[in-house]
Amino acid sequence: MDFPRALDIDHSETLPRLPSWVTAGSAETLEDAAFLSGAALNHLYLLMARDDVPAALIRARLALRAAEACVRFSGRPERATALRDAVHFLRPGDLPGPGGEVYLSWRRAVARAVSVRSLGRALPTVEAGRIADCLAAGQGAPVNRAARVLEAMMATGRQEAPALILADAALSQTLGLDYLTPLLAAGLQRADLRKDGEELRRACHRAVVASVIETACLAVDLTRRAAQLQAVAPKLRAKGAGAAVEMFLTSDAVAAAALPLPPRAARRLCARLVELGALRELTGRDTFRLYGV
C-alpha cells in the first residue's frame, strides 16, 4: 500500500515570507500599486511552484473564499459553511441552488489546468469563443490583462462569478501558473466591480496584494497541516486509506461518504485522523460532517 512520504521537517518554517515593504506598503499612485502587486505576484509564483507546498489544497481553499465573495456581491446570505453543505451533500437529481452553483463553478475552474475547455466546464453558460477571447486579452502585465477581462465581462452584463473567474484565469495564465489561482474576488469590494479604466486597475492591484498576503499565510498553515497528515499516513491500515489521504491533500473539504472506503471504515478513518491531529472536523455537527486539512 502506497502512502505519501512522511516529512522529516516542518517545511512551513522554511517557506519564504513576503517582505514587510509589501505587506505594509502604501500605494499612493497607480505606479506604486503596480509595483507592490508585481512583487506580491512574484512571491506567489515562487511559493506555488514549491514541491512541499500543497498547491491544489491552497487553490481549493481559495476557491471557497472566492465563491463566498461572489455570493456576497450578489446580495445572497450564504457563507462558507452553507456553500460547503450545498455542494458536498447534493443527492442525485438535486440542484445546489444559486450559491452552490457559484461554488461549483469556482471548484471546477481550479481543478484543471487553465484552458478554454476546462473553463467551459466551469462556465457552461459562457460561449467558448468568449472564453478564448478572455484568455487572449492582448498584451501586458498580468493584473492589467485581468482588469481588461473583468471590465469587458462586466460591461456585457455578466454575473460577477463568471467575470471574476475569467479575470483570474487570465491573471494566472499571464503569470505563468498552469492552474487558476483565485485572487481577485476575495480582494475586491462590490463597488470596485463598477469601476473601469485606471480606477479598476488600481483596485485590482490592491486586491492582488491583499489576497497574496492572505494566501501566503494560508500556505504556511496548510503546508504544516499537510505535512502532519503525510506523517501519520503510514499508520493507517485501512484499504483505500492512501487514496483517501490524497483526497484530503487536494480538497477543501471531504464528506466521509465520498471516501473510497465502506461507510463504517470511512467514518473510523476520519475519526482516527482527527484524533491524530491530522484532520479537522469542519462543521461542528454530530451528523453530516465534513473533514479537511
Instruction: Write out pLDDT tens, residues 100-127.
Output: 999 999 999 999 999 999 999 999 999 9
* 6 has pLDDT over 70: no
Co-location of 116 and 128 in the same domain: yes
* 160 has pLDDT over 70: yes
Residues 134-140 have a mean pLDDT of 80
Is 144 a member of any domain? Answer: yes
In this prediction, residue 12 has a pLDDT band, given cuts at 50, 70 and 90, of low
* Burial of 256: CB neighbours in 10 Å, binned 0-12, 13-18, 19+: buried
CB 107 within 8 A of CB 253: no
Is 1 a member of any domain? Answer: no
Co-location of 240 and 277 in the same domain: yes
| Residue with more model confidence, 23 or 246 | 246
Co-location of 163 and 236 in the same domain: no
pLDDT at 138: 61
pLDDT at 143: 97
Is 201 a member of any domain? Answer: yes
Grid cell, residue 42, equals: 512574484
Mean of pLDDT over the chain: 92
Is 90 a member of any domain? Answer: yes
Is 36 a member of any domain? Answer: yes
Is 14 a member of any domain? Answer: no
**% the chain with pLDDT above 90:** 83
Co-location of 146 and 235 in the same domain: no
Give me the number of domains the chain comprises.
2
pLDDT tens, 193-247?
A: 999 999 999 999 999 999 999 999 999 999 999 999 999 999 898 888 999 999 9
Domain limits for position 38: 23-223
Residues 23-28 have a mean pLDDT of 79
pLDDT at 19: 87
Residues 144-150 have a mean pLDDT of 96
Co-location of 213 and 268 in the same domain: no
pLDDT at 238: 80
pLDDT tens, 267-289?
A: 999 999 999 999 999 999 999 99
Is 9 a member of any domain? Answer: no
* 1 has pLDDT over 50: no
In this prediction, residue 15 has a pLDDT band, given cuts at 50, 70 and 90, of confident
Co-location of 156 and 78 in the same domain: yes
- Please identify, among 199, 223, 247, the residue that sits at the C-terminal boundary of a domain: 223
